[in-house]
Structure 1
Amino acid sequence: MTLEVLSKKSAAQQYVDSVFEQLKQKNSHQVEFLQAAEEIFISLVPVFEQHPEYIEHNILSRIVEPDRIISFRVTWQDDQNQVHVNRGYRVQFNNVVGPYKGGLRFHPTVNESIMKFLAFEQIFKNSLTGQPIGGGKGGSDFNPKGKSDSEIMRFCQAFMTELYRHIGPDVDVPAGDIGVGGREIGYLWGQYKRIRGAYEAGVLTGKQPGYGGSLARKEATGYGLVYFVEQMLLDANETFEDKIVAVSGSGNVAIYAIEKAQQFGAKVVTCSDSSGYIYDPTGIDLEVLKEIKEVKGDRISTYVNYRPNAVYTEGCTGVWSIPCDIALPCATQNEINGDSARTLISNGVKVVAEGANMPSDLEAINEFLNNGILFGPAKAANAGGVAVSALEMAQNSSRISWTFDEVDGKLRNIMKSIYSESKEAAEKYGYAGNLVVGANIAGFVKVANGLLTEGVY
């Protein structure tokens, strides 16, 4: 970059570029974290142009540095009494809006970069919900697949034996994520109670209903995704009725996105797992999918044993070659690249909304936006899960329980509000229709203003 070119940039652009360069130098090996930061930074230049006080107080540099990163050893024994060692993490990124809040992920790919990217995204996602929760994330490179219940219990107990000292209802409230469902949360919660000698229900969310958990939590991210898309479609004078929907994944997010989309009249024709994908031209049989994944814990390939007219294909990326009106990536980060995006566009996709965290890379996002595709970014579209986690915290604090319909109604209103705030922020800062920019700005401004009021620390 020449000085002549640099001098033509606005002060806001120079500031954002400077902070990002510093971030790259400090975190050059953390690819996922830098990708998440770059996607947000691109959106924020117009904010700094209108709010020079954010530059004066160096808000961006303060937000991109976590409050703390906790890394610890987790030692546990398998059923053959063999000793194993895993690494645990908790990234407490920002608590301006409320206590740190974000899931625990147990998966062999977990590393510090992924934890930081997820925690960073969580700051803005949680801000968008309007609930008093900050951003955090954690997990371990432990792989629960193939482990017995006893092995998973022993690992969770060992994990919580270290984690408990860093969390609390008003400090940091973990939840579930990939590899951490109701079973794991139960084991973690039991160990926390034993160590603390107290019933602090608000310290973990995702607990089983009847034991401090909230109804509709399991469904929340998938339902919330569809409620967000519902608002996108309404603004385009459309509905889900008779739309063809492609979904990736087959965990909670995918299953309940499929369920709600079908309730709204759509035909969902795909789902997937890490081994491959299913195409069912007559529509995914939800009861079969739940039997395979929630009851038996089998691979998605067994779907064709129940539905012989469906087609199973090994490999996951091909799921985006199926023509559809609406695409809902609900599997994992970077599952849609530029080539997949171009295939979706050429096959007539009209709407793409992210159920997973950062499932579209930057090239894919640009393809969607440049071709007029309605695009719902993850930090807005998949915020339903953490929104209901916050509702679980509220119920725990008040010692009350809401019905499924009460929670679902609150969730729908929250997703409607997130869409409206993202849309309005995009319009205010000159990017009408761009929900990526709108969601980033709407989430960021609340946190930035909080940092200004709290002073330098």
Structure 2
Amino acid sequence: MTEIKQYLDNLENALKEKYPDQKEYLQAVAEFMGTIEPFLMKNPIYVEKNILELLLIPERLIEFRIPWMNDRGEWKVNTGYRVQYNSALGPYKGGMRFHPTVNQSIMKFLAFEQIFKNSLTSLPIGGGKGGSDFDPKGKSDGEIMRFCQSLMQELQKYIGPNTDVPAGDIGVGGREIGYLFGEYKRLNGYQSGVLTGKPLAYWGSLARTEATGYGLVYFVQHLLNDQKETLKDKKVLVSGSGNVAIYAIQKAQELGAKVYGCSDSSGYVIDPDGIDLELVRDIKEVNRERINVYLTQRPKAKFYEGKNIWEATIAYDIALPCATQNEITPELAKIMVKNGVKVVAEGANMPTTLEALEVLNDNQIIYCPGKASNAGGVAVSALEMAQNAQRLPWTFEKVDQELNQIMKNIYETCRDTSLAYLSKEDLVAGANMAGFEKVAKAMLSQGLV
């Protein structure tokens, strides 16, 4: 065992001992640590200065209570988090997630991944994440408004346009961002750059809603172009039917792919004639119904209740997991292999377990990690910050063009970095090494040693 490998193992073991119950955080760290050794072998100064130990611990972790009143006049309490992980490259940047599963481990995993994702965009933003175990499902607009106002009364102490700029994530869309922004404005005055993902009426960015889904497909497009292929007639399955999934389906279809399935937490649908995107949008965005309603207007489609879409046994080329973490297990990865999948590109954060990744790698399936392939959302969030600072709105076409170029640059950076250090294309290792290098250089030059 090399000294560097021993150094990495010691750091990881220390974290396991300190945070034994934080499985999502430890998983994200393990994925990163398993790829960084070749970079450190050629750049031992980062071991000598112990940059990694600094990087593994958040600069600041804020946990607070959120009391709010429901429509029946009853007081409820939830827990809020903001993990300000690393500011070497700029103000903390990352979404707010409202979901019952939110806990400190998930917040730290998301914020840790965000460091490298933001670094890969080459935009001046650091890594952060936040959210609450509040469940917006089934809540009235009034309840969500009161919750968001209560959350912001505490969060506003720690954020600002040049300090920490939250955005949306699971459970946090334009409605929630609006309520959060309104409360911040009441307390601090109008500062358009304090949140991104804002409605267009007050300095939101065109193409922000579409950005993560579009960016995911642009990443795959550039990957295929590198192999002298295109998306035309490629068969695709997408997990999820929320914002990321919907716009990934839209862009994939625009570029000629055939999308045959999507899902939600109740099950998945397969449509042999191809997914009717407008119907899915009507079901999920307008009526907020379950995906099985799709069959009422598309009788040829089939709904598989309570099933994971990656259990489907149909031939397809590209998998776009856009739902949640750890949705692809080793068993499901083996089904993908049998189905002839060639590319797995993550639209969600860490949807593939480490064991499933081994299965994909063993079978030469190209794997695009979320910290690279789903960076389009935060990239356009940073472009929204630029528009806010300039007091100038950009056209949809300009933002979309910038997004496409950023995703092209991210893919090429991951590819070229892996080739430089491994002499083979490994997008996970490339993303981790390239993302780490920029952050580590900044930390070193700023005297954070």
> What is the TM-score of this pair, normalised by structure 1?
0.97
Tell me, yes or no, if the aligned pair for 1:380 and 1:439 is still in contact at 8 Å.
yes
1:397 and 2:402 equivalent? no
Any residues of structure 2 matched to 1:232-381 within 5 Å, and which? 232-321=223-312, 322-381=314-373
- Give the Cα separation in 1 of the matches to 2:306 and 2:336: 17
Pick aligned residue for 1:85 from 68, 73, 77? 77
Deviations 1:184-228 (A, max 9, x none): 0000000000011x2111110000113110000000000000000
- Give the Cα separation in 1 of the matches to 2:378 and 2:307: 27
- Give the Cα separation in 1 of the matches to 2:4 and 2:412: 26
- Give the Cα separation in 1 of the matches to 2:24 and 2:137: 24
1:38 and 2:30 equivalent? yes
SS in structure 1 opposite 2:202? Answer: coil
Any residues of structure 2 matched to 1:56-455 within 5 Å, and which? 56-196=48-188, 198-321=189-312, 322-455=314-447
Q: Which amino acid aligns with 2:349?
A: N
Q: How far does residue 236 in structure 1 lie from its aligned partner after superposition?
A: 1.7
Tell me, yes or no, if the aligned pair for 1:369 and 1:434 is still in contact at 8 Å.
no
**Is there any run of 5+ residues in structure 2 with no aligned partner, and where?**
none
Deviations 1:256-312 (A, max 9, x none): 000000001011011111111111111000110110111111111111112111111
Higher mean alpha-carbon deviation, 305-314 vs 326-335, is at 305-314
Q: Which amino acid aligns with 1:239?
A: T
Deviations 1:397-446 (A, max 9, x none): 00000000100000000000000100011011115211000001110000
Partner of 1:18: 10
Tell me, yes or no, if the aligned pair for 1:273 and 1:316 is still in contact at 8 Å.
no
- Give the Cα separation in 2 of the matches to 1:51 and 1:270: 45
> What is the TM-score of this pair, normalised by structure 2?
0.99
Tell me, yes or no, if the aligned pair for 2:263 and 2:309 is still in contact at 8 Å.
no
SS in structure 1 opposite 2:272? Answer: coil
Deviations 1:84-136 (A, max 9, x none): 00000000000000100000000000000000000000000000001000000
Deviations 1:316-369 (A, max 9, x none): 424442431000000000000111111001110011100000000011111112
- Give the Cα separation in 2 of the matches to 1:298 and 1:160: 29
- Give the Cα separation in 2 of the matches to 1:11 and 1:319: 40
Tell me, yes or no, if the aligned pair for 2:310 and 2:328 is still in contact at 8 Å.
no
SS in structure 2 opposite 1:346? Answer: helix
Tell me, yes or no, if the aligned pair for 1:277 and 1:319 is still in contact at 8 Å.
no
SS in structure 2 opposite 1:166? Answer: coil
SS in structure 2 opposite 1:245? Answer: strand
**Is there any run of 5+ residues in structure 1 with no aligned partner, and where?**
1-8
Deviations 1:129-183 (A, max 9, x none): 0100000000000000000000000000000010000100000000000000000
Q: Which amino acid aligns with 1:336?
A: I
- Give the Cα separation in 2 of the matches to 1:210 and 1:440: 37
Tell me, yes or no, if the aligned pair for 2:310 and 2:335 is still in contact at 8 Å.
no
SS in structure 2 opposite 1:190? Answer: helix
- Give the Cα separation in 1 of the matches to 2:388 and 2:307: 39
Tell me, yes or no, if the aligned pair for 1:431 and 1:437 is still in contact at 8 Å.
no
Q: Which amino acid aligns with 2:396?
A: F
SS in structure 2 opposite 1:117? Answer: helix
Q: Which amino acid aligns with 2:55?
A: I
Tell me, yes or no, if the aligned pair for 2:263 and 2:291 is still in contact at 8 Å.
yes
- Give the Cα separation in 2 of the matches to 1:340 and 1:238: 26
Q: Which amino acid aligns with 1:381?
A: S
Deviations 1:363-412 (A, max 9, x none): 11111122111111100000000000000000000000000010000000
SS in structure 2 opposite 1:429? Answer: helix
Tell me, yes or no, if the aligned pair for 1:153 and 1:187 is still in contact at 8 Å.
yes
Q: Which amino acid aligns with 1:289?
A: V
Tell me, yes or no, if the aligned pair for 1:222 and 1:382 is still in contact at 8 Å.
yes
Tell me, yes or no, if the aligned pair for 2:310 and 2:336 is still in contact at 8 Å.
no
- Give the Cα separation in 1 of the matches to 2:279 and 2:36: 45
Tell me, yes or no, if the aligned pair for 1:270 and 1:319 is still in contact at 8 Å.
no
Tell me, yes or no, if the aligned pair for 2:198 and 2:204 is still in contact at 8 Å.
yes
Partner of 1:5: none
- Give the Cα separation in 1 of the matches to 2:224 and 2:80: 41
SS in structure 2 opposite 1:269? Answer: strand
Identity of aligned residues (%): 60
Tell me, yes or no, if the aligned pair for 1:11 and 1:49 is still in contact at 8 Å.
no
Q: How far does residue 454 in structure 1 lie from its aligned partner after superposition?
A: 1.1
Cα 1:279–1:319, aligned 2, differ >3 Å: closer, same or farther? farther
- Give the Cα separation in 2 of the matches to 1:440 and 1:432: 15
CA RMSD of aligned residues (A): 0.9
SS in structure 2 opposite 1:210? Answer: helix
- Give the Cα separation in 2 of the matches to 1:157 and 1:129: 31
Tell me, yes or no, if the aligned pair for 2:85 and 2:92 is still in contact at 8 Å.
yes
Tell me, yes or no, if the aligned pair for 2:262 and 2:309 is still in contact at 8 Å.
no
